[in-house]
């Protein structure tokens, strides 16, 4: 009898083990995520300690054994229930997306708590199922940031630049940006004064963008959002240029072999294919490095002075245009195209001395492939200038002052003669160098805004 009892006990234990170890007794809790819908009608995870209860809140949940039920409560600071919702899922849904109730008559600064419990259909826990409990405490915030424009450029042209200064006031502001309708720009913090953040920044209207819809966007931790339109005059009369460049075999062989040798890459053997490799692959690598380095890493203003016109040498002659689609021909065959995103400047003699017009920091000083010997300087407010094809670059420190000698013009890289290729970029977007070479344009469109800011809020070196 003892033997029989022992066997029965073993059988019962084995049955219990199999039963409780089966999928119907899985012990994985349901996954639960709370979301809030922002002003752009996008659901984002609800992770902030601030909340605008007027925004829609929802939660998603998943469980492999199916979801059984949920209960949701909103408690005030006295733990009184001021909102609630329940649900049961007899069909054992594995995925749910549930909208939660809103609560009215709450004031800014009120403290509330969300309690959400979700259970699954597992038989674990003595058939009670697995459950997930989410508890989040919030502070009510319904006021959007206040944005006021201080000054801005009177107009912007397609392919060109503008400058905007503005203030933002509000609690717990988490992001401030500008948009031209397609691209986003981060503003530079100038000062914090009288409870306001003072910002100033350059922005661009790239030639490839068909329109410009400027606006400032400020969002706080409760996802309250303020948008202010920039009522700036727009000039759209800029057209892409198209040029045909016919190449000689002697030039192709000499230049392309030189670039391949300097860059030390494994290129095709046929000299036409080698040109295509340089024009397509190596040019793209040059461009990516330039764009990477033109993106600011620090968005606090360290100095704010009016800009000087960018003229690397006196009385330059322009021989290559900005935003020029160049088609390269060899013996009647189209062997490639490229966009020329700068302008080419020549002097009456070779190896012209190039000087810097505005203080800045060196971010590129090296031999690139297509651009040859290249120097790139980042200036204040997101402006970058690039000088390419130089025959010589001076030994320079990382921080440069206006008036410093940069080097000499030349024909290194894929250049057709001695010149300097000048590019101007705003936060990594190409803009017309011709504007920045024009003293009258700078003194009409850029410097008045800088002078207004320093007059109203003092020099950056004064106490903030």
272 and 223, same domain (yes or no): no
Task: Calculate the average pLDDT of the chain.
Answer: 92
Q: What pLDDT does residue 16 have?
A: 47
455 has pLDDT over 60: yes
| Residue that terminates a domain, selected from 140, 159, 185 | 140
What is the per-residue pLDDT across 339-363, written as a single tens digit (0 to 9) for each?
A: 999 999 999 999 999 999 999 999 9
Q: What pLDDT does residue 267 have?
A: 83
User: What is the domain count for the chain?
Assistant: 3
410 and 354, same domain (yes or no): yes
Residues paired with residue 340 on neighbouring β-strands, in sequence order:
324
| Mean pLDDT score, 139-162 | 97
What is the per-residue pLDDT across 280-322, written as a single tens digit (0 to 9) for each?
A: 999 999 999 999 999 888 899 988 999 999 999 999 999 999 9
273 and 398, same domain (yes or no): yes
Instruction: Please give the share of the chain, as a percent, with pLDDT higher than 90.
Output: 83
Confirm whether 437 is domain-assigned: no
Sheet of strand 225-229, all strands in order from the earlier edge strand to the far edge? 184-185, 173-179, 215-220, 225-229
Q: How confident is the model at residue 15 (pLDDT cuts 50, 70, 90)?
A: very low
Domain region containing 130 = 28-140
| Residue that terminates a domain, selected from 195, 215, 235 | 235
54 and 183, same domain (yes or no): no
Confirm whether 18 is domain-assigned: no
Q: Which residue has the higher pLDDT, 279 or 266?
A: 279
Q: What pLDDT does residue 302 have?
A: 86
Confirm whether 460 is domain-assigned: no
């Amino acid at each position: 009898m003892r033997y029989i009892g022992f066997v029965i006990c073993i059988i019962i234990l084995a049955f219990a083990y199999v039963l409780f170890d089966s999928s119907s007794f899985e012990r994985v809790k349901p996954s639960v995520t709370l979301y809030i819908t922002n002003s752009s009608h996008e659901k984002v995870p609800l992770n902030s300690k601030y909340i605008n209860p007027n925004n829609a809140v929802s939660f998603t949940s998943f469980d492999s054994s199916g979801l059984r039920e949920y209960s949701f409560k909103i408690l005030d600071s006295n733990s009184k229930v001021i909102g609630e919702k329940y649900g049961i899922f007899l069909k054992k849904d594995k995925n749910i997306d549930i909208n939660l109730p809103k609560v009215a008559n709450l004031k800014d600064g009120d403290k509330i708590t969300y309690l959400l419990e979700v259970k699954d259909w597992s038989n674990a826990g003595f058939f009670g199922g697995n459950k997930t409990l989410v508890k989040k405490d919030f502070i009510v915030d319904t006021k959007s940031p206040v944005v006021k424009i201080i000054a801005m450029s009177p107009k912007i042209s397609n392919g060109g630049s503008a400058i905007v200064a503005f203030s933002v006031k509000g609690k717990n502001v988490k992001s401030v940006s500008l948009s031209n309708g397609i691209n986003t720009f981060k503003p530079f913090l100038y000062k914090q004064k009288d409870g306001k953040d003072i910002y100033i920044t350059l922005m661009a209207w790239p030639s490839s963008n068909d329109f410009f819809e400027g606006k400032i966007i400020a969002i706080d931790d409760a996802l309250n959002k303020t948008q202010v339109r920039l009522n700036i005059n727009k000039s759209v009369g800029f057209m892409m240029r198209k040029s045909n460049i016919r190449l000689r075999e002697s030039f192709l062989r000499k230049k392309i072999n030189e670039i391949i040798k300097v860059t030390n890459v494994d290129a095709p053997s046929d000299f036409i294919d080698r040109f295509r490799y340089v024009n397509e692959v190596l040019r793209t690598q040059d461009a990516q490095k330039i764009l990477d380095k033109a993106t600011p890493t620090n968005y606090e203003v360290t100095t704010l002075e009016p800009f000087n016109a960018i003229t690397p040498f006196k009385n330059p002659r322009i021989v290559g245009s900005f935003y020029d689609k160049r088609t390269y021909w060899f013996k009647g065959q189209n062997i490639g195209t490229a966009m020329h995103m700068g302008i080419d400047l020549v002097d009456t003699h070779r190896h012209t001395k190039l000087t810097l017009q505005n203080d800045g920091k060196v971010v590129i000083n090296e031999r690139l492939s297509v651009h040859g010997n290249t120097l790139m300087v980042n200036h204040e407010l997101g402006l970058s200038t690039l000088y390419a094809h130089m025959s010589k670059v001076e030994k320079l420190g990382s921080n440069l002052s206006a008036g410093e000698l940069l080097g000499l013009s030349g024909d290194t890289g894929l250049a057709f003669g001695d010149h300097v290729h000048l590019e101007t970029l705003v936060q990594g977007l190409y803009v017309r160098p011709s504007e920045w070479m024009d003293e009258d344009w700078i003194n009409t469109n850029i410097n008045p805004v800088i002078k207004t800011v320093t007059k109203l809020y003092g020099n950056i070196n004064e106490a903030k």
